[in-house]
Amino acid sequence: MNLNMAELMKSMQQMQEKMQTSEQELKKVRLTGEAGAGLVKITLSGQYEIKSLELDDSLIGAEADKQVLTDLLVAAFNDGIKKVQEATQNNMGSGLSDILPPGFKLPF
């Protein structure tokens, strides 16, 4: 592959700009993790910030078990994190393929 330094620098600058744009877009993303068939919902930003927590009314009674509620909260949070990671990976992956020259392979 014959790339001169100017072309490589231009490609790297474009990649940096796309990554910054992707980072700004991720700040706006809202993804919701759920547990217990929707009894617990946690909405996260693309930067892993909890934006909201919803608990079904059936969990807030005398019969609600604290450990079950805790387990559901953890499961919902982890589901939200997984969705943020997938969105980040999809967003970053598509940006790189748009700017790298055909046949260019990254070392990782």
Q: What is the pLDDT of residue 30?
A: 93
Quote the CA–CA distance of 108 and 101 in Å, as a whole number. 16
Give dist(CA 44, CA 7) in Å, integer: 38
Backbone torsions φ then ψ of 48, nearest 5 degrees: 65, 25
* CATH fold of 26-99: Ybab; Chain: A; (3.30.1310)
In the sheet with 30-35, reading across from the earlier edge strand, the strands are 30-35, 40-45, 50-55
Global confidence as pTM = 0.56
Which of 10-24, 33-47, 65-79, 83-97 shows the lowest mean pLDDT across its residues?
83-97
pLDDT digits (tens, 9 = 90+) for 82-98: 898 888 888 776 655 55
Number of neighbours of residue 42 by Cβ within 10 angstroms: 25
Query: So where are the chain's domains?
Result: 26-99
pLDDT at 41: 92
